[in-house]
Amino acid sequence: MLLSAMLWGQSAPHSLDALTERLGIVIPEGDRHTAMGDTLATAEAYLRLIAALEAKGLERFEDILTEARRHRRLIEDANNRAAEARKPDTGD
């Protein structure tokens, strides 16, 4: 999620589906939303994201960490949304 935000900004969607579509990664229909399919898609996305980050001059891990800190709110927001989704519906 953070690597994607570094490349496309925080307003772009950063879900696995959005990333694979943006990066041209094809997930066979039978493998979508399975542990193995998602793992393979994530690995392929990671490799392509690293190449894109290098093209932007972010070649060292230290550079990537520095840039990631600028986007940490994205993780906080995602964690908050996940926590809200786990709350039981009280019918209010």
**At 82, is the pLDDT very low, low, confident or very high (cuts 50, 70, 90)?**
low
**Average pLDDT of span 57-69:** 89
In the structure encoding, which two tokens stand for residue 42, read together? 């994530």
Domain extent for 14: 2-86
Let me know how long the chain is. Answer: 92
Residue 38 is assigned to a structural domain of this protein: yes
Terminal C-alpha separation, the chain: 32
Residue 92 is assigned to a structural domain of this protein: no
Q: What angle do CA 92, 15, 70 make, to 5 degrees?
A: 95
Q: What is the mean pLDDT of the chain?
A: 85
**Which pTM does this prediction carry?**
0.68
Residue 71 is assigned to a structural domain of this protein: yes
State the Cα–Cα distance between residues 24 and 1, nearest whole angstrom.
17
Number of domains in the chain: 1
Residue 28 is assigned to a structural domain of this protein: yes
Q: What is the per-residue pLDDT for 37?
A: 93
**Average pLDDT of span 6-35:** 89
Q: Alpha carbon of 49 to those of 3, 25, 41, 46, 87: distances in Å?
A: 7, 12, 12, 5, 33
pLDDT exceeds cutoff 90 at 48: yes
pLDDT exceeds cutoff 70 at 79: no
Residue 56 is assigned to a structural domain of this protein: yes
Residue 53 is assigned to a structural domain of this protein: yes
